[in-house]
Structure 1
Amino acid sequence: MCESFTPPSVVYGIVYGGDERESGGRTWVSRGVVTDGTLSVDRCAPVEEWFDTTAASPGTPTLTTFLADLPSTAAVGLDFPFGLPAGVVAEESWAAFVRDLPSWYDSPDDLRRRCERRVRRTDSSSDARFRATDGPLSTMSPFADPIVASTFYGLRDVLRPLVLSDSVRVPPMTDPRSDRPFVVEVYPTGTLVDLDLFDTGDEDGGDEGETRRAETLDGLCEAADAEVEVADDVRESIVADPDRLESVVAVYAVYRNSRTASALAVSDSQRLIEGQVFI
């Protein structure tokens, strides 16, 4: 673990929708600035607005280039699985698995089929479809239909180029470095459950949904392990739109898990292959 670890001064939360042409998802980005122990969330926007992609300019940053260009003082939480269960991974390290991924899988459907086939051949139990980090959080398998597109495109198109170029570090699989930003896997729903703030009403439209999201934001700002402030315009946009809340929760998850180097470390070697969710 990095001996000269310095907590990040700017943190991002990204809820990743995968390849929107195939998955139908949408990616949201939020940012928080850390000053004197306070996390101030000052922006939340869909990725096309964040990068102003309406002009369709060849020079428009992509999510991957954006992450690669971040300063070493930044940290990012990405809401998609960073790995697969150890039983379906042939490589001996996470970095090798990410490097070789395109030679094993060429689409989300291919990833799902091959993983299911591997599970049936080696261990037919349902547990084999989950990573060690998934069980305590009751998350879905990384190759379950609802999220397999985010897993595939997130690993191949977002993380892989960053890992191959060593543009970022990915705790706990790769140790933090003082001259690199780092990215971690987050699960906003798990964070809200841990804070006793989760409510399916957060996703509702209408007045009831707005009231519930306002209450969730209030609870987040009052969390015992951090002082959180949300800019008025950001707060208004989150209360009005249920899709924005999770990326702000992701910012908070990164912040509270990045105050010390030890918070980013794990002792379970299986998680060094499969990945670790930080809530």
Structure 2
Amino acid sequence: MFVHGIDFSGAADAGRRIWISSGVIHDGRLRIMETRPASELPGGSVVRDTALRALRSFIRSASGAIGLDFPFGLPRVVTAKPTWTEFILDFSSRYPTAAAFRAECRQLSARELRRTTDAEAHAPWAAWNWRLYRQTYFGIGEVIAPLVRERRVRVLPMQEADHATPLLLEICPASTLRRLGIAGLRYKGGADADQRRARKAIVSRLGEATRMAIDPIARRRAIGDPGGDALDSLVAAVAVHRAIAGGRIQPTDAIYQIEGFIYV
């Protein structure tokens, strides 16, 4: 089975910040064969709109399971729709811009509300936190909603798995690293020797904890990217593999059917 982990961004230069790690599960073991930014996808670019268009095309043509690191939903009290699908398909009409999305959510609650899965997975931020709201907005509005409308994906656990169609899973690299006991290393935002050593240590510990194998070029890119985005895409792929190997891709609690579920 093919597995892809995507570290997402809603920034204006998203094409250099979105990274994709791709691999295959063989005999229960994950092997990562490629790690690349969205700007290197066919039709890709550094510019956000072009990068997201290329990312949608990549997902449409992919097989297997794909993990993305942005919220697939909002707290139930915010959705104002009876089903997740209705909420997703109405999202861009309800929120015409990322700023409008954050402003309306903040009007509903002075406090940043978290979903049930955010609390359970120890996700660092709520969906409309200032650090995350652009990822949430462009992830739902420009990636998930068009693909759901076209019926080109199955989004778990809100939709039933169909292994003939790409499966989308919400992941959170920070939560997965925490679950694996690898949290606490400062690995993002710089090219200094200490941060590079931290990225190298995380890659090694991921291999030890999960028996993951990684091809040399993918390994170099995961360690060499100073922003940590390439490494986060690797962690995303690991989270997807863990979900599949653990046989827990379809949790049935009703709250997850509305709010979404983070696979760690």
TM-score by length of 1: 0.85
Counterpart check, 1:28 vs 2:14: no
Unaligned 5+ residue runs, structure 1?
1-8, 121-125
Q: Match for residue 189 of structure 1?
A: 174
Given the superposition, is the C-alpha separation of residues 10 and 201 from structure 1 closer, same or farther in structure 2, using an over 3 Å criterion?
Answer: same
CA contact (8 A) 2:39 2:46 kept: no
Q: Which amino acid aligns with 1:69?
A: S
Q: Of 212, 233, 256, which residue of structure 1 is paired with 2:217?
A: 233
Q: Of 16, 29, 40, which residue of structure 1 is paired with 2:8?
A: 16
Q: Which amino acid aligns with 1:150?
A: Q
Q: Residues 22-71 of structure 1, C-alpha deviation per residue, up to 9 Å, x if partnerless?
A: x7972111111112222111111111023363699x9x961112111223
Three-state SS of the structure 2 residue aligned to 1:202 is coil
Given the superposition, is the C-alpha separation of residues 148 and 24 from structure 1 closer, same or farther in structure 2, using an over 3 Å criterion?
Answer: farther
- More moved, 105-114 vs 132-141: 132-141
Q: Which amino acid aligns with 2:113?
A: R
Q: Of 55, 58, 62, which residue of structure 2 is paired with 1:63?
A: 55
Q: Residues 227-247 of structure 1, C-alpha deviation per residue, up to 9 Å, x if partnerless?
A: 210111221222222321110
CA distance in 2, matches of 1:264, 1:241: 30
Three-state SS of the structure 1 residue aligned to 2:245 is coil
CA distance in 1, matches of 2:241, 2:156: 14
CA distance in 2, matches of 1:212, 1:181: 33
Q: Match for residue 113 of structure 2?
A: 129
CA distance in 2, matches of 1:30, 1:55: 18
Unaligned 5+ residue runs, structure 2?
none
CA contact (8 A) 1:16 1:150 kept: yes
CA distance in 2, matches of 1:25, 1:140: 23
Q: Of 82, 102, 108, which residue of structure 2 is paired with 1:118?
A: 108
CA contact (8 A) 1:17 1:25 kept: no
CA distance in 1, matches of 2:97, 2:15: 15
* Moved >4 Å (runs of 4+): none
CA distance in 2, matches of 1:25, 1:33: 24
Q: What is the deviation of 1:134?
A: 0.8
Q: Match for residue 193 of structure 2?
A: 207
CA contact (8 A) 1:11 1:33 kept: yes
Counterpart check, 1:272 vs 2:263: no
Aligned residues: 257
Given the superposition, is the C-alpha separation of residues 119 and 238 from structure 1 closer, same or farther in structure 2, using an over 3 Å criterion?
Answer: same
CA contact (8 A) 1:48 1:54 kept: yes
Three-state SS of the structure 1 residue aligned to 2:155 is coil
- The structure that has the greater radius of gyration is 1
Q: Match for residue 239 of structure 2?
A: 253
Three-state SS of the structure 1 residue aligned to 2:77 is helix
Q: Match for residue 76 of structure 1?
A: 66
Q: Give the share of equivalent positions with the same residue, in percent.
A: 29
Given the superposition, is the C-alpha separation of residues 48 and 84 from structure 1 closer, same or farther in structure 2, using an over 3 Å criterion?
Answer: same
Counterpart check, 1:152 vs 2:137: yes
Q: Match for residue 93 of structure 2?
A: 103
TM-score by length of 2: 0.90
CA distance in 2, matches of 1:180, 1:14: 17
CA distance in 2, matches of 1:266, 1:39: 23
Query: What's the C-alpha RMSD, in Å, of the aligned pairs?
Result: 2.3
Q: Residues 56-91 of structure 1, C-alpha deviation per residue, up to 9 Å, x if partnerless?
A: 9x9x961112111223xx110001110111111111
